[in-house]
Structure 1
């Protein structure tokens, strides 16, 4: 679907097959000389097909198109390599050599190792009783993406991307992802938020170990943009909305409540990652915990780990390792 959401800004909805998010919002900022496409979808033929058709209908030649990647997760950066024409730029907050700063830079096999380690920490018997332990957990396109041949053009805090009469300032917002960057045009008040602020769901904050501290960074990034004078928030998933401050406050309160809930669970004797996560309240669309797919449980464990890491950093809890298992207690 193509929709002009503001002058010279078109939302192109790209499907995410077999994914709970269903679709990603990409935004084309159409200019006279060059245009900029924000995000791209999975590394799947349907993504490039939908985008190429949209560019054709909007009369944007591929050789006059640059790309901006809000963050280097596969549903945002996956199709970048197939859309970028020779000589075009693919902007992203990345390493100076054009590679990723995020943990997703690791090979497919390394990412599998990380998620297996997380799953084994939560479910110590998982590897011995599940056939999947010797198979791939995720389809390749879910946790991998190819980098454009020319690499990414690095952007940093305060850099400006101009197109279609807009001057979008880059705002670094790590937390959901190391590389996450939002775009803000001060004159119009338009804020392209990527996955940093969503209206319909709470952004996914995950740690795969207790040293990552992604929730601490996310909450700091959330506070950073709360007071921006914004007329319209254009997120990567779900509805375009107004009221940035109110939504930021709602998200902060959500995490505050989750921390309280986890502390209550710990006080009641749910002291392991697996016990804590399985007793938290999740939006599983009425699917019982023991019937959730391994992928969904991994995401839940990762979110729980992010909150436990935050609580450890704030000295709210302490950790003891017993027989190779992490046990959490109130400090």
Structure 2
């Protein structure tokens, strides 16, 4: 079940049932006294069994484990409080810790109102309570500890430097093991799929932040980049491919707005290209439709910052025109 990647470094695959990502890569740095687990999986039973079975297979007692989160999303953070219990700590960036510690109802009420202002039908949002982003989130805990940019985590004979990579979330981190040339990318760089970029409160241009963060890690001399999902790969070529991917997406969205001026984000997203097995936009799984609209909004925000579109609010809903 577990995979030895390098001395003292293991991958524990954690299933994500019903999710197109299929599984999370949880990485364990096994130490003599304490071990460090990077990311944990959704707060659901199948993933819980797999994660704790992986720790047992490696003869690691959860009471001797701390968790480092690459970012706040539930498929990475959901099981963290259960792993550390009252004996370990959950290390996370300051911006993402602030989100994790917000009351869930208030957080989602704000998010729902925002999506309605972007044209998402309220009746569909009312059905979105089962979205894993909210349904499988971690339980409240007082075990969070903030990682500042450049902080160093030590475990299993390794030193991991915390590199801020905002975009996918406000406080996404990569962990850089310079001595072994290994970069833990979380969802900042994925090799089989493109990370989902959506708007965040307080970030005027999440996509712009993401593109800058991609460029910032591109020149690291990484011999191996270990992502949060699916297979590893070579860092620089993948960064170049992701930059090109988003350039094409921006051009695609501009063309959609020229053909359909005044579209809402929900309407524009329906005409974007998505790698989802559905016959039409109406057939999209609701959770995937929600993520798709979020990605469309992030691209609209970046186009606006580039001076390539204008937006206007009509009856409480935003519409966009290409310039």
The TM-score normalised by the length of structure 1 is: 0.89
Higher mean displacement: 243-252 or 30-39: 30-39
Q: Which residue in the other structure is 1:162 paired with?
A: 154
How far apart in 1 are the matches of 2:314 and 2:54? 56
Answer yes or no: is 1:262 the counterpart of 2:258: no
Residue in structure 1 matched with residue 113 of structure 2 by the alignment:
117
Structure 1 CA distance for aligned equivalents of residues 127 and 280 of structure 2: 25
Query: Secondary structure in 2 aligned to 1:101?
Result: helix
C-alpha distance after superposition, 1:32-52 (max 9, x if no partner): 222111011111233332222
CA deviation after TM superposition for structure 1 residue 118, in Å? 4.5
Q: State how far apart, in whole Å, the 1-side matches of 2:183 and 2:25 are.
A: 14
Q: Would you say 1:133 and 2:126 are equivalent positions?
A: yes
1:282 aligns with 2:278: no
Change (3 A) 1:92 1:209: closer
Q: Give 1:307's match in structure 2, choosing from 292, 299, 313.
A: 299
Number of corresponding residues = 322
The 8 Å contact of residues 208 and 302 in structure 1, kept in 2 or not, is answered as no
Partner deviation per Cα, 1:1-20 (whole Å, 9 max, x = no partner): 31111221110011112212
Structure 1: 5+ residue stretches without partners: none
In the TM superposition, what are the counterparts of 1:1-331 in structure 2 within 5 Å?
Answer: 1-94=1-94, 100-102=97-99, 105-123=101-119, 126-127=121-122, 130=123, 133=126, 136=129, 138=131, 142=135, 144-149=137-142, 151-207=143-199, 212-241=204-233, 243-272=234-263, 273-331=265-323
Higher mean C-alpha displacement, 165-174 vs 195-204: 165-174
Q: 1:77 to 1:139 in 2, by over 3 A?
A: closer
1:191–1:234: 8 Å Cα contact kept in structure 2?
Answer: yes
Give per-residue Cα distances to partners, 1:286-326, cap 9 Å, x unaligned: 43211112222111110000000111112211112234332
Q: CA RMSD in A?
A: 2.3
**Which TM-score applies when normalising by structure 2?**
0.92
The structure-2 alpha-carbon separation of the partners of 1:5 and 1:308, relative to structure 1 and needing over 3 Å to count, comes to same
